[in-house]
Structure 1
Amino acid sequence: MFKNLFLSLLTVFSIQGVSAQQNFLSGFPKGFAPKEVGKDLAYHFIDSRHDLYAARWIHYAEVCTWNGALDYALKAKDQQLVKLLQRKFEPFFGREKALLPPMNHVDYNMFGSIALKLYQVTKDNRYRDMGLAYADAQWNVPENATPAEKAWSEKGYSWQTRLWIDDMYMITVVQREAYKVTGDIKYIDRAAKEMVLYLDELQRPNGLFYHAPDVPLYWARGDGWMAVGMADLLRDLPKDHKDRPRIMAGYLAMMKSLKDYQRPEGMWNQLIDEPDFWAETSGTAMFTYAFIRGIQQGWLDAAEYGPAARKAWMAMVPYIDERKNVTEVCIGTGKKNDKAHYANRPRNAGDFHGQAPYLWCSAALMDK
């Protein structure tokens, strides 16, 4: 009798435990609901001005924000927002065509990702053709390529390879979208092969990544590109793909280390392992996104990582000001082997580097 009672209670507690784990990523209070937060940020993006490189071409951070706004619109089933995003893009086929980035740099080519996402919504071949041109240009070596660029291509990698951790979002995002549009395995193979190279060359024994081989510092947003890049690539990579185990191992190692370095209130610092540095929002949002995806996909144990993901989201949202701008966003940052360089970086409110990953998190948390 007592044994049966014990087993019954154990079953109840187990069911409650599963339910509690599922609720880590839902049931947020007013003001923190992902649909509410995402709507504010996405409609704010519609009214924003273009972010340009040297007043010439669309900046990758704007593309990242565009991707997040579209993901949110689709999850929220907000057709008005989808149409507004299409309308915002339409001038690139005409009067704003000069703002399209050239297809000669890893940061520029990722522009193709938003065109490919819009094709999946509209089935308008103008988007498809534009996006695939950017995706293919990452592997089609131009005549004026340097010997080093040609050498990367001869090994099967993108000629735009440079072994900067940012690349593992910039390259993989456009190749993944090309794979989803065409079903052609070459695109996801490209992304996976490139990711394995970067993991083998750049990941440290603790799972994190230096900003550069000659800059042994763990800069939050730099590491964030790897975290998001791995999480998204693993979602699209076929289960039997030969590179999946290596990428999963790199992802899990990074997630474990990030959980250890999370601040008690939920944020991560500008330099991840420096406890006296300031809390930085773009890196925090990227790490939170990688946690959310891992929990949803079953790669991360919900009981272990769910509280960390929820705590991070609850800490992130108050950094959005009354103008719907994410604050405490580190501006674009080149490498420098100097901690003071990172400690003293200006912080922008409304910088697309921060708006984008907040939108990614909002959309991800709306997944059922």
Structure 2
Amino acid sequence: MNFINHTVTVYAFTALCSGLFLSCAQKPLQTASREVKTNTEGTISSKLPWSQRMLLSEIKRFPEAWMLDYNKNPKWSYPTAIVLEGAEKLYEKTGNKEYYKYITQFGDTMVKEDGTIVSYDASKYNIDMLNCGNVLLYLYEKEKKGKYLKALQTLRSQIDGQPRTSEGGFWHKKIYPNQMWLDGLYMGEPFYAHYTHDFSKGAEAEKAYNDIINQFDLIQKHLLDKKTGLLYHAWDESKEQAWADKQTGLSPNFWSRAMGWYGMAMVDVLDYLPKNHSGRAKLISYLKSYTDAVIKVQDQKTGLWYQVLDKGSEKGNYLEATGSSMLVYTIIKSVNNGYLPASYKTYAKRGYDGIINNLITVDENGVISLNKCCAVAGLGGTPYRSGSYEYYINEEIRSNDPKGTGPFILASLEFEK
């Protein structure tokens, strides 16, 4: 059934955007702590392309960009940057000042005049915190405000101090010692590459680009499953974590969004890696083997991907929106940029149509929702996350998670080219 052709109100956001969020057991969740005020004025035209319809829907749900991810207070939060990247590209394409205002309001709120970033704590060495630096790189290029430059320099200094594995791989966070996660490649490397492209030259730039490529080399060396071509969510060099295999240090499952993060990391780093850099061909080869692996586990009926990629037939697994959106974006951008043959567009289109036909709903005001998003998943911490199959399928499911809506906007833009 194609939900687009029907007036769907099941997932429609009310004026308080209380929303209907489903647990993996399909039971309603308490959402009072996630309430945000929604702008109910105006109707979003169905004649607009999907990219704009989704961004305008996000702006209605979250009038300030820091509210994305259901934040109650201003928070330096990595998912925001993905939606704002879509806003940047849409502003450049359309000239719509509403999109630019959405970006600038975030910068004005989150970066104080002295360059201090609201809620950012450098001492935590959390690689997730680098991703929003991409928004500041864009704003600094546009506005040349000193506060953005200072904030960018602060974020760049985190890279210099980031704890590393014995081979130079970035720890995911200081509280996660000796661990590399696929997520971290997206959180850190596009910002690192973009900053280097904009501010570094000569030997300094070459050193940084080599460091970036080394991160991918280490992921391929330690997290790749040679049998399937898929990559595990994380690797613990010390093999001390309860989730880590005692021989390999690997976590036990292939999580769709982790693979999505990794794919987006590769295609986005290639935007800034010099054409003549020796690591470029290698990164493209990684991207090719990666894509060959994910299309083998693409659901043939819907074109989507399962929460746990290789266990689609097992009880409780479900076709998940954020990972599917990220994988579609990775593949279509790779085709458009010539990293993959044109024949791979078929797989991207099948996935994109699957999202629209199975995961998108539209309310009476034209506001669209992306459903079946895994809210969050990780490893270790408190309470402890084991990385088991049961763990992944029982994390909260919700609608309109920016880790899905952002990649959907970016994928839509690639299809709209």
TM-score range (shorter-chain normalised) is 0.7 to 0.9
Task: Check the 8 A contact 1:35/1:362 in 2, yes or no.
Answer: yes
SS in 2 for 1:279: coil
**For residues 189 and 327 of structure 1, what CA distance do their matches in structure 2 show?**
39
The counterpart of 1:294, out of the listed 334, 349, 352, is 334
**For residues 170 and 234 of structure 2, what CA distance do their matches in structure 1 show?**
19
CA shift for structure 1 position 58? 2.3
**For residues 93 and 235 of structure 1, what CA distance do their matches in structure 2 show?**
26
Equivalent position amino acid for 2:330 in 1: A
Aligned to 1:275: 312
Q: Which moved more, 1:62-71 or 1:256-265?
A: 62-71
Say if 2:96 is the partner of 1:78.
Answer: yes
Task: Check the 8 A contact 1:282/1:357 in 2, yes or no.
Answer: yes
**For residues 290 and 117 of structure 1, what CA distance do their matches in structure 2 show?**
21
Aligned to 1:100: 119
CA shift for structure 1 position 38? 4.3
Residues 47-86 of structure 1: pairs in structure 2 closer than 5 A? 47-48=63-64, 49=67, 51=69, 57-86=75-104
The counterpart of 1:212, out of the listed 213, 234, 237, is 234
Equivalent position amino acid for 2:231 in 1: F
**For residues 127 and 360 of structure 1, what CA distance do their matches in structure 2 show?**
24
| Structure 1 residue ranges (4+ consecutive) displaced by more than 6 angstroms after TM superposition | 52-56
Distance 1:47 1:254, change over 3 A: same
Task: Check the 8 A contact 1:116/1:132 in 2, yes or no.
Answer: no
CA shift for structure 1 position 158? 4.3
CA shift for structure 1 position 139? 1.5
The counterpart of 2:56, out of the listed 40, 43, 48, is 40
TM, length-normalised to structure 1: 0.79
TM, length-normalised to structure 2: 0.71
The counterpart of 2:404, out of the listed 346, 349, 354, is 354
**For residues 53 and 163 of structure 1, what CA distance do their matches in structure 2 show?**
27
CA shift for structure 1 position 308? 1.4
**For residues 48 and 223 of structure 2, what CA distance do their matches in structure 1 show?**
36
Say if 2:356 is the partner of 1:317.
Answer: yes
**For residues 282 and 334 of structure 2, what CA distance do their matches in structure 1 show?**
16
Distance 1:136 1:189, change over 3 A: farther
**For residues 347 and 276 of structure 2, what CA distance do their matches in structure 1 show?**
30
Aligned to 1:239: 275
Equivalent position amino acid for 1:109 in 2: L
CA shift for structure 1 position 121? 2.6
CA shift for structure 1 position 347? 0.6
Q: Which runs of 5 or more structure 1 residues have no equivalent in the other structure? A: 1-29, 142-148
Equivalent position amino acid for 1:43 in 2: I
Q: How many residues align?
A: 328
CA offset digits 1:55-74 (Å, max 9, x no partner): 68422222332233223322
SS in 1 for 2:109: helix
Task: Check the 8 A contact 2:185/2:262 in 1, yes or no.
Answer: yes
Distance 1:37 1:203, change over 3 A: farther
Residues 166-245 of structure 1: pairs in structure 2 closer than 5 A? 166-184=183-201, 185=205, 186-205=207-226, 206-213=228-235, 214=244, 215-245=251-281
**For residues 403 and 108 of structure 2, what CA distance do their matches in structure 1 show?**
23
CA shift for structure 1 position 50? 5.1
Task: Check the 8 A contact 2:375/2:401 in 1, yes or no.
Answer: yes
Cα-Cα RMSD: 2.8
CA shift for structure 1 position 293? 1.2
Task: Check the 8 A contact 1:42/1:69 in 2, yes or no.
Answer: no
Instruction: State the identity %.
Output: 20
CA shift for structure 1 position 278? 0.9
Q: Where is the helix percentage greater, Structure 1 or Structure 2?
A: 1
